[in-house]
Structure 1
Amino acid sequence: MEREMITFVKVWLTAYASLFYCYVMGKLVPKGIPRLLGIAPIVILFLFLPLNLSSMHLGGATSFFLAWLANFKLLLFAFAKGPLSSDPSISPRRFVAVACLPIKIQPHQKPQNPQKPRKRGQKSLLNYSIKGLILALLVQAHRYYTHFMPKNLVLILYSFHIYLCLEIMLAIAAALARAVLGIELEPQFDEPYLSTSLQDFWGRRWNIMVTSILRPTVYEPVVNIATRVIGRKWASLPAVMGTFAVSAIMHELIFFYLGRLKSTWEITWFFVLHGACLTAEIGLKKAVAGKFRLPRIVSGPLTVGFVMVTGFWLFFPPLLRFQADVRAFEEYAAVGAFLKNVGSALTLKTMNATRLIMHISQL
C-alpha cells in the first residue's frame, strides 16, 4: 500500500505538470488543430498514467479523473470550448483543478440564503454524514455476513455500495476544490434512486459531471449532424445512442484499468441497451406530446428496477470477475491498519515526550 501511495503521488505530480503545460499552450497556441496537436501527447499520456496503479480506489479514481474527464475537457479546450475555456482569465491553479477533478463551477455564485430552499442537487452535511454511516455499515455487512445472504441481496447491497462510494468520493473531491479555490461547485449526484424515468436518471441525477462533459463532446455534435439529415425534432435520438456508445467505450476502458482482464463486452451491451431504451422513451414522449404520463408511484420503481436488474445482468459480473469487492475490502483493511499504526506511533511519541518533560522538570 505504501508503494501504491508513492506511485499515486508521482502519477498526480506528472498530471499536474502536464496540465500546466496545457494551460501555457492555451495562451500561446491558437485554438483548433494547432492547439489539438500540442495537447495530443498529454491526452495519450493520460491514457497510460492509470496503468501505473493497481488499487481499486486510487487506480479507479485516477483513471476516471484523467483518462476520461481530463481528456474530454482537454479535447474541448483545444477548440476553445468546455469548462476550461469558459473563463479567459482563469488562473493556472483553477485550470488544473477544473481539468482533472469532477467539478463544474456554477455560472452565478451567490451566497446561499439559509432560509431559502436548497436548489436541486444541493445537499447538507447531514445528508453526507448519513450516507457515510450507511456506507460503513455496508462495508461491515459485506465483510462478515455476505456468505449468509442470497446472491441477489449481495448484488443489491453492492449496488448501493458503489453508488455511495462514488458520491462520497466525488463530494470530497469537490469539497477540496472548494476549500482551495474558494468556489461553489455543482453536485455530482442528485438522489438517483428517486428517478422517474431513464431520461431523469441518466440526464439529471446520475454522475452529472459525466453528463455535462458528454453533452458538448458527443451529444451536441451528433445533434448538429443529424439535424441536417432527419430534422431537429428527431435529431436527439441518434445523439443519445452516440453518447451511450462513447460512454460504453470509456467504461470498458475504466474496467480494464481496474481488472486488467480481456473485455467480455458486457459493459458495452449494458450501455447500448440503456441507450436504446432511453432513445425509445424519448421518441415515445415526442410522439404522445405530453398527452400521457405514468404516475410517479409507477414510473419510479419501474425505472430503478430496470437499472438494477440490467446492472445485475450486465454491469456487475465483470466487477465480480476481477474480484472488485474483495480487493476493495482489502484496501479498506489496509487503510485501517495504516491509520491504526499511525495512531499508535503518535501515541507512543506523545507518551515519550511527556515522560521526557516530566524527567526534565524533576532535575
Structure 2
Amino acid sequence: MQAVALPTMESELRALAWATLLTPACAVYARFAARCLRPGIPRLAALLPTFPVFVYMPCMFSSLHLRLFSTFFHTWLATNKLVLLALDLGPLHPRLPLLPFVLCAGLPIKVRRLQQSQQQPTKNQASSSSSSSPPGAEFLRPCARSVLLLSCLAVAYPYTGWLPLYALHYLYCIQIFLTLDLVFSCVMLVSAALMGATLERQRQFNTPLAVASLNGFWGRQWNLMAVDLLRESAYEPVRARWGRDVGVLAAFLMSGLLHELLYWYLTLQQPRGEMLLFFMFHAAFQIAERWARAAGLWRPPKAVAYLLVTAFMVVTISEMFFGPFVRAGTDVRLKEETVAMVELIWGARKYLLRPFRVASS
C-alpha cells in the first residue's frame, strides 16, 4: 500500500488554505439550507453534498498530525453535527448567528443556545466588566503547559530506547493528550477571542491521566466534545429503545468504526478491525464495571483503583490500539513531527507572545 507522502511547508500551507476556504463555505451553505428546509429527509438531502467534502479533506494533508485533526474536526465532528442538524438535534441550529455557526461546525466547540447567550451578558455583566483579562485568557496556561511538557518529551524521546514497551506507550498516551489539549486550547482561545464568552464548555479534557474508573474516563474525562456527540447520535436513541447497555455498545461501536477510518487516513492501509475490537472490548468492561459496582463487588480504595485501571488502560492500548500504528511506522512519523512542531513553536514564541505583552503593558 502507498504510504502517506512526506509533508512540506508548501503542501501543508496549500492544504490549510483549501480547508480554510471549504469549511466555512460548507457551513454557510448548511446554515442556509437548514433555515429553508424542515428537519428530516428534506434537510438531510440538502446537506448530503457537504459530506464528501469533509470526508476528503484529511487527504489534502501530508502531515499525520494535520490528517489526524482534520479527520476529527471535519470527517468526524462536522459530518456528525450536520447529520444531527438535519434531525434538529445537536449543537448546530439555523438560528445561530453566522460566525458562531461556522466556527461550531468546523471546530470542536459548542456554542450556548440563543436563550443562554442572550441572558449571559445581564447575568455576568458585573464580573465581565471588572475582569481586565481578554476573552480566552484562561486557555493560555494549558497552552503553555502543553508546549513545555511536549518539549520535554521531544528532548527525552531519543533516550527512551531502554524503556519497556508499556512505559514507552504510556509516554505515547501522554503525548496524545498533550497534543490534543494544546490544539483544543488554542482553538478555544481563538474562538473565545472571536465570539466572546459564548462557549458552552471551556475544556475538553478532565484530568484524563488520573484514571480510576472506565466509566469515568470514557464518560467524563476524555475528549468531552466527542462524548457529547456520541451520546446524542448513538447512545441516547439506542438506549431509549433497547436499554442502557445496548446504548453503550452502540456508542463504542460508532467510535470504533470512526477510529478504523482514522487508521486508514493515517496509514493508507486496509483496517483489520483492531480499532473496533479495542473499543468493543472497553465497552464490555465498562458495562461489567458498572454491574460490579451496583452489586457491591468493585469498591477498591481510590489508589488501588487508580493503579488497576491505569494498568488495564496501558496494556489494552499498547496491545490493541497502538499495535496497528506501530506496525505501519506511524509512531515514528508522529514523534518526528512532534519534535519539528515543538522546534517551530519555540522558534516562533516571541512572535506569538508579542500581542499579550502589548496588552499587559
Query: Under a length normalisation based on structure 2, what TM-score does the superposition of the two structures give?
Result: 0.82
Change (3 A) 1:196 1:341: closer
- The residue number in structure 2 matching 1:94 is 100
- The residue number in structure 2 matching 1:139 is 154
- Distance in 2, Cα, partners of 1:69 & 1:185: 16
State percent identity of aligned pairs: 33
- Distance in 2, Cα, partners of 1:340 & 1:169: 15
Tell me which amino acid in the other structure corresponds to 1:169: V
Matched, 1:189 2:189: no
Tell me which amino acid in the other structure corresponds to 2:282: H
- The residue number in structure 2 matching 1:217 is 233
- The residue number in structure 2 matching 1:200 is 216
Q: Secondary structure at the match of 2:90?
A: coil
Write out aligned runs for 1:17-166 (5 A): 17-85=25-93, 89-105=95-111, 109=120, 111=124, 125-142=140-157, 144-166=158-180
- Distance in 1, Cα, partners of 2:233 & 2:253: 13
1:190 CA drift (Å): 0.3
Q: Which moved more, 1:65-74 or 1:177-186?
A: 177-186
- The residue number in structure 2 matching 1:346 is none
1:17 CA drift (Å): 0.6
Tell me which amino acid in the other structure corresponds to 1:207: N
1:283 CA drift (Å): 2.7
1:207 CA drift (Å): 0.5
- The residue number in structure 2 matching 1:176 is 190
Tell me which amino acid in the other structure corresponds to 1:321: R
Change (3 A) 1:247 1:141: same
- Distance in 1, Cα, partners of 2:139 & 2:79: 31
- Distance in 2, Cα, partners of 1:135 & 1:265: 31
Tell me which amino acid in the other structure corresponds to 1:37: A
- Distance in 1, Cα, partners of 2:206 & 2:54: 29
Structure (1 or 2) with the larger CA radius of gyration: 1
- Distance in 1, Cα, partners of 2:331 & 2:241: 42
Are 2:154 and 2:342, in contact at CA under 8 Å, matched by a contact in 1?
A: no
Change (3 A) 1:340 1:129: closer
Structure 2 unmatched ranges of 5 or more: 1-7, 129-136, 350-361
- The residue number in structure 1 matching 2:5 is none
Tell me which amino acid in the other structure corresponds to 2:257: I
1:209 CA drift (Å): 0.5
Are 1:174 and 1:185, in contact at CA under 8 Å, matched by a contact in 2?
A: no
Tell me which amino acid in the other structure corresponds to 2:169: L
- The residue number in structure 1 matching 2:358 is none
- Distance in 2, Cα, partners of 1:203 & 1:336: 31
1:194 CA drift (Å): 2.0
Equivalent in 245, 253, 278 of residue 286 of structure 2: 278
- The residue number in structure 2 matching 1:229 is none
- The residue number in structure 1 matching 2:303 is 297
Change (3 A) 1:67 1:152: same
Change (3 A) 1:153 1:130: same
Change (3 A) 1:91 1:321: same
Are 1:55 and 1:258, in contact at CA under 8 Å, matched by a contact in 2?
A: no
- The residue number in structure 2 matching 1:316 is 322
Query: Under a length normalisation based on structure 1, what TM-score does the superposition of the two structures give?
Result: 0.82
- Distance in 2, Cα, partners of 1:210 & 1:204: 11
